[in-house]
Amino acid sequence: MRLAALFSPANVLLFLFPGKICGYRYYSLFGGRGGAYAEIPAPEATAEDIRELRNRLGCRPEDVWGVGLPLNDFFMVNLQLPLAARDDLDQAVQYALMRHLPFDVGRFAVSWMPTAWEDKHIKLTALAIPRHELRDSLGIVDDLPVAVAFPALFGFAVLHGQDGLYMTGDGHQLETVCMSRGKPVFQHWAATKPEQTGVAIDEVKSLLDNLAPGVDRVFLCNGRDKLESITSHLGLAGSSAHVAAVSELRPPRDLATLPGGICHNVERARQRDRRLSWLQGATLAVLLLSIASIPAGKMSGKAIRVNALEQKIDAIRPEGEQVFALRDQNENTILFLRDLEAFLSSQTRMSDLLLEATLRLPSSTWLTSLNYSGQTLRIQGLADSAATVIEALENSPRFREVRLESQVTKSGDKDTFHISASLEF
């Protein structure tokens, strides 16, 4: 099996569900067949839990990973674009998401999947996650070659391939994804207490009531003991509920094509694949030469020669893995420094805000406090008229949504004010 694994690099799908983690390791050469499955209870997934799962799956350093993250980290938006947008769908999706995301779309990692091609329109499902949350969430698997990240339950539902309501939860949060006609319709996440789970399920039921056609099946990822309670809340028959297992999934040969997958470090994974391909080719050549040199009358000794070859490969593998690990560390350091440079260049300096406020405010104005937090500037002070302070800030291109934070009071002949303004980028 060790020699077979060398000629067929494995992919690993990791699902971080509420209350547990699941893993599916399979060989892309065989299209996902013959894989290994494992799951571990994990109220809060840790690096130790990941190591335990890797041991159970028999993972190797050259495996390439796809990591499913909690649903609440992502925004899911169903879009309808004109057919003309097909020439540059990436750019069209970026523009369309500007109307749906609460922050600068450049701060998000985005993926999309088409769900329907019509005469005049293209329907797509777009997924977005803030880049800093993506880095933080992948922190527990930082030592793994992660090619793609995706919403765990969303990816599970798409790979499972059946229409219905997919649900998972641990009593503290409930995740739901609805699939209809092979397409994702909505996702729902709610933080709950054990005694309030029924309230969250009622919210899901209200969404289901507006679907046409409706959904009549439930797939639960967290055990059979909750099926009766959930189907009762949803008003469905008990026979329509099923426990969905990781072993039922149909994984892709190439993780880069995973529906909803956000490319994280595909180039790093491809470099690893290229290095592995050279090693595989060299090993295959040596193996073929070894077999060809064996006379037909001595084929019984083939097993001994192959075993010796495997031992030689195992002997040189640690040195090669050390070289790969050092190169990966260097690549991670470069990526970190680039992200740090981009972050620092995007920050507004306090000195710039103070200069802008000084130039704009009337000369008779005294500031007693200036605070900048969360893209909002708050100032307190004294002025002949608080209205002139508000007017001065509104005339500045740097500020918007200028308003009083509290009632203006008099201090002698001066107005005491507390004003806030949002920054314009």
Tens digits of per-residue pLDDT, 376-407?
888 898 988 888 888 888 888 888 888 888 88
Residue 4 has what pLDDT? 47
Separation between Cα atoms, residue 147 and residue 162, nearest integer Å: 26
**Percentage of the chain with pLDDT > 90?**
8
Can you tell me the mean pLDDT for 126-137? 87
Name the strands in the sheet holding 20-27, side by side, starting at the edge strand that comes first in the sequence: 36-41, 20-27, 10-17, 64-69, 146-151, 262-263
- The CATH number given to 350-423 is 3.30.1360.100
Per-residue pLDDT for 348 more than 80?
no
Spatial contact of 179 and 185, defined as CB atoms under 8 Å apart: yes
Strand ranges in 338-375 using DSSP code E only, listed in sequence order = 366-373
The pTM of the full predicted model, rounded to 2 decimals, is 0.59
Residue ranges covered by each domain of the chain: 1-288, 350-423
Strand partners, 89: none
Q: Is the peptide bond before 61 cis (omega within 30 degrees of 0)?
A: no
Residue found by looking up tokens 């109307």 in the block: 99
Separation between Cα atoms, residue 322 and residue 146, nearest integer Å: 18
Separation between Cα atoms, residue 88 and residue 108, nearest integer Å: 19
Spatial contact of 399 and 379, defined as CB atoms under 8 Å apart: no
φ, ψ at 39 (rounded to 5°) = -145, 150
The per-residue pLDDT for range 225-266, each reduced to its tens digit, is: 666 677 777 777 656 778 888 888 888 888 888 888 887 665
Topology of the domain covering 1-288: Nucleotidyltransferase; domain 5 (3.30.420)
Q: Which helix (H) or strand (E) holds 11?
A: strand 10-17
Selection from 59-73, 274-288, 347-361 with the highest mean pLDDT: 59-73
b/e string for 258-286 if b means 16 or more Cβ within 10 A? bbbbbbbbbebbebbbeebeebbeebeee
**Percentage of the chain with pLDDT > 70?**
82
On the 0-12 / 13-18 / 19+ scale of CB atoms within 10 A, 310 is middle
Can you tell me the mean pLDDT for 92-119? 84
Strand partners, 82: 121
Residue found by looking up tokens 């000794």 in the block: 301
Mapped onto helix, strand or coil, the DSSP state of residue 143 is: coil
Which positions ≥6 away from 145 have C-beta within 8 Å?
63, 64, 65, 265, 268, 269, 272, 328
